[in-house]
Chains A and B, each alone.
Chain A
Amino acid sequence: MTGILLECRGLTMRFGGVLALDGLDFTVNAGEVLGLIGPNGSGKTTFFNVVSGIYRLNAGTIHLEDSDITHSSPGSISAQGLARTFQRSRLNLSLTVFDNVVLGAYRQVHSGLWHNIVRRRAFHDEARRVASEARDLLAVFNVALADRLFDTADSLGMIDRRRVEICRALIGHPKLVLLDEPSAGMTIDETDAVMDEILGIRKAFGDLSVVIVEHEMGLIQRVTDRCAVLNYGKKIAEGPYREVSQDPVVRTAYLGHT
C-alpha cells in the first residue's frame, strides 16, 4: 500500500457557465479500492472522463505513476495502464463477446496489415491465444459466460454484459481501473456478485487499484478502503466510509440542510 498511483492537482473543468470540477485534488494509492461518491451532478463522471482523456482540462495536472498524462490522448493514457467502464453499457451489441473483449487487448496484438492479411497462420495462433485468455478471464466471472465467447453481446443479460465490459477493461492488464456505477441497471445481489468477482481477481493482476463511482452505499461500505466525497466539483470529505458517512458536511450535501 505504498506509493501514489494517480495524482491529480487542481483539476478544473468548465462547461459554459457550469464549473463541473473546481480545483479538485485527488490521489489514488497503489493497490487500494477507492470509492468516489457524491450527489448527482457533483462531477464524478466528469472526473472519470477527464482522467481517461475524453475531456480536455481547463486547468490542473494529472500524473499516473511518474508520467504526466494531463494532455495525453485517451489512447496513450490507456497504454500507460488505465482502463475504465462506462455508466451506461457501451458494448458493441451487434458484435460477439470476443470482438468486444479483444478491444481491451488492442495493444497486445499485432495490428499490422502484413500480419493480418498475409501471415494468416500467425494471426490465427495469436487469435487462439487471445481467445483462451478471454475465456479464462470470463470464466472467473461466470463459467457459463466463457462458453458464449462467440455469441453476440445483445444476447446477454445485463449482468453478463457488465461482466464483459469489466473483462474488456481487465484483459489489457491495467494498473488502475475506473468503474463508473457498476450497479447501474442491476439488482443489489447481482452487483454484489460482480464486485466480489472483481475483488477476487485483483490479486492476480498485481494488486490492481480500483476507483468506483457508486450510489449504492452498501456496496461502497463493503468494498472500499477509502472514500472521497464530491460536491459541486470539489472534494468535501475523504477517509474510510464509516467516518465520511458521519461527516455533517457530507450529510448536508446529500440530504440538504436539516
Chain B
Amino acid sequence: MRSGSKAMRSISAGPVLVAVIVCAVVVTTLVRIEDQKLLVVELAAIVIATLLAMKFGIADKVETSARHHPWIGRASIIVATLAVLSVLREDTFGLLMLATVLLYVTTCIGVTIQMGYAGLTNFSAAAFVGTGAYTAALLDARHLLPDPLILLSGGLVAVAIGSLLLLPVLRTRGHYAALITLAFGVMFNVFLDASDSLGGPQGLKVGGINLLGWDFSNDLHLFGYEFSFYVNYVLLASVVASLAMVLAAILDKSWIGIWLDAVRLDETTSAVFGLNIGRWKILAFTIGNFLAGISGAIYAKMAGFIAPNNFTLSDSLIIVSIVILGGIGNRWGVPPAALIVILLPEKLQFIQEYRLLLYAALVIGILVARPGGFLERRTRRFDLATT
C-alpha cells in the first residue's frame, strides 16, 4: 500500500509537458510550412515518431503522467494554445484553418458521445452543423438577439430539428438507424438547395461575432503586437472545444457513461435491469446535436457566408471518419484526427481532388491495422480512493 502511494507520487509531470510542447510545435509547423516537399517530410517524421513513441511505451508514459497531473496537463494546454497563437498571429489562413479544425473537434466530440458512447451512428452530423449555421444566419439578419444567444440558439435549433429524427431512430437499430440519419442528411441538403428563403444554392451572408462588446472583426493589439482578427475565433473555438471535451470526459466518468455503454453493448440486458433505452439514446443524441449546432453557428459567423455545399453528406462522412480514425469513444483521438483530416488537404494541394479517396484509404488502413482507431478507447475505472 505504502509503496503504491509512493509510486503514485513519483510519477513525473515531465512526459505530459514534453508531449504538449511537441504537439504545439507540430501544429505550428504544420500550419506554417508552405513548401510541399518539406511538409511531406514533416508528415513522415510525425508518423515515424508516433509509431516509435507507441512501440517504446512513451505514449503510455505520457498517458500515465497526464492522469496523475490533470491540472498541469490542462494548464500546459492553455499556455501552449496561447503560444501557438502568438506565433501564428498574422497567418490569417492558418488561423482560419485552426479555428475550423477546432469546430470540427467540437462536432466530433458530439458524434463521439452519440456513436462512441451510446452506439447511435450519425451520418447527418453536417446537417446539424448546417442547422446551427443557418439559424445563426437567419437570426443575425434580423438583429433580434445578442450574439451569445444566437450561438446558443444554433445549438438549440439543431436539437429541435434532431428531435424530428428521434422517433424513427429510436424505433430502429444499428444499420437501419444509421440509414435514417443518412437519408436525413441528404434531405436536408436538397431542402437547402430548393429553399428560396434560405438563399437556395447561393447561400446566405452572415455578420461576424460581437461578444458583449468584444468585436471579433477587429484585429487585436496586444503587448505591441498585432494579431489577426481570426485569433478571436480561434480563442472562442478553443474554449468551446475544450468545454465539449470536458463534458465528454465527465459524462463518461459518471453513471450516465455506464448507462450509455450498457445501452450500446446490450439493450436487452439493460432493459431487464430497468434502463429506459429511449431516454439514454435521446440524451446522447441531443447532446451531440447541440454541440454540432453550436459549432455550426460559430462557423457561419466566422466564415461570413454559408451555402448548402458546406453541409453535404460528404462532410458528414468526414466527421464520422475523424471519429473512427481517432478511435471510437476516445475523445483524445479526435483533435489529432481532425487536424490530419481537415488540415492536410488544404495544405497539400496535390491531394485536394483526391481528398475523399484519401480519407477512405486512411480509414480502411487504420481499421485494418488498428481496429480501435489511432487511440483506442480506455476502460472506465473510477478513482474512488481519492476525492
Binding site for B on A (CB under 8 A): 52-54, 73-76, 78-79, 83-84, 86, 90, 92, 94-96, 98-99, 102-104, 106-107, 109-111, 113, 116-117, 120-121, 123-124, 127-128, 131, 150, 152, 168, 172
Contact = CB atoms under 8 A, between A and B. Distances in A.
B276 interface: yes
Contact of A75 (B247, B274, B384): B274
Contacts of A102: 255, 258
Residue of B258, B259, B273, B276 contacting most chain A CB atoms (<10 Å): B273
B266 A90 contact: yes
Interface in B233-277: 247, 250-251, 254-256, 258-259, 261-262, 265-266, 268-276
Given A111-B255, A123-B255, A128-B384, A92 B273 contact: no
Given A96-B380, A131-B382, A117 B272 contact: no
A98 B382 contact: yes
Contacts of A52: 272
Contact of B379 (A53, A83, A152, A168): A152
Contact of A116 (B251, B261, B380): B251
Contacts of B272: 52-54, 74, 78, 83-84
B258 A117 contact: no
Given A116-B255, A128-B384, 8 more contacts: A53-B272, A75-B276, A79-B274, A83-B273, A95-B380, A120-B250, A123-B254, A150-B382
Given A75-B276, A123-B255, A150 B266 contact: no
B379 A95 contact: yes
Contacts of A124: 384, 387
Contacts of B276: 75
A152 B381 CA distance: 9
B280 to A, nearest CB: 9
A95 B261 contact: yes
A104 B275 CA distance: 10
A75 to B, nearest CB: 4
Contact of B255 (A104, A109, A128): A109
A110 B258 CA distance: 13
Contacts of B251: 116-117
A127 B387 contact: no
A108 B83 CA distance: 48
B277 to A, nearest CB: 9
B250 A117 contact: yes
A111 B255 CA distance: 6
A79 B262 CA distance: 18
A92 B267 CA distance: 11
Interface of B: 247, 250-251, 254-256, 258-259, 261-262, 265-266, 268-276, 283, 379-382, 384, 387
Nearest to A104: B273
A152 B380 CA distance: 9
A53 B283 CA distance: 24
A128 B381 CA distance: 12
A116 B257 CA distance: 9
A207 B199 CA distance: 70
A251 to B, nearest CB: 35
Contacts of A168: 273
Contacts of A76: 274
Nearest to B246: A117
A103 B280 CA distance: 14
15 contacts: A54-B272, A74-B274, A78-B273, A79-B274, A90-B269, A92-B265, A92-B269, A95-B258, A98-B382, A103-B269, A104-B273, A111-B259, A116-B251, A117-B251, A168-B273
Contact of A78 (B274, B283, B379, B380): B274
A88 B132 CA distance: 46
A86 B283 CA distance: 28
Residue of B268, B379, B384 contacting most chain A CB atoms (<10 Å): B384
Contacts of B275: 75, 103, 106
Contacts of B382: 98, 127, 131, 150
Contacts of B262: 92, 95, 99, 103
B120 to A, nearest CB: 17
Those 6 A-B pairs whose CB atoms lie nearest each other, nearest first: A116-B254, A75-B274, A74-B271, A78-B274, A92-B265, A150-B381
A32 B251 CA distance: 42
Contacts of B255: 102, 109-111, 116, 123, 127
A117 B13 CA distance: 27
A122 B242 CA distance: 24
A28 B259 CA distance: 32
B380 A99 contact: yes
B57 to A, nearest CB: 21
A152 B261 CA distance: 14
A101 B52 CA distance: 38
Contacts of A131: 382, 384
A111 B258 CA distance: 10
A13 to B, nearest CB: 17
Contact of A73 (B259, B265, B271, B387): B271
A79 B272 CA distance: 10
Contacts of B379: 94-96, 152
A172 B250 CA distance: 25
A99 B254 contact: no
A172 B273 contact: yes
B354 to A, nearest CB: 36
A101 to B, nearest CB: 10
Contacts of A95: 258, 261-262, 265, 379-380
Contact of A106 (B254, B273, B381): B273
Nearest to B259: A111
B378 to A, nearest CB: 11
Contacts of A79: 274
Nearest to A169: B273
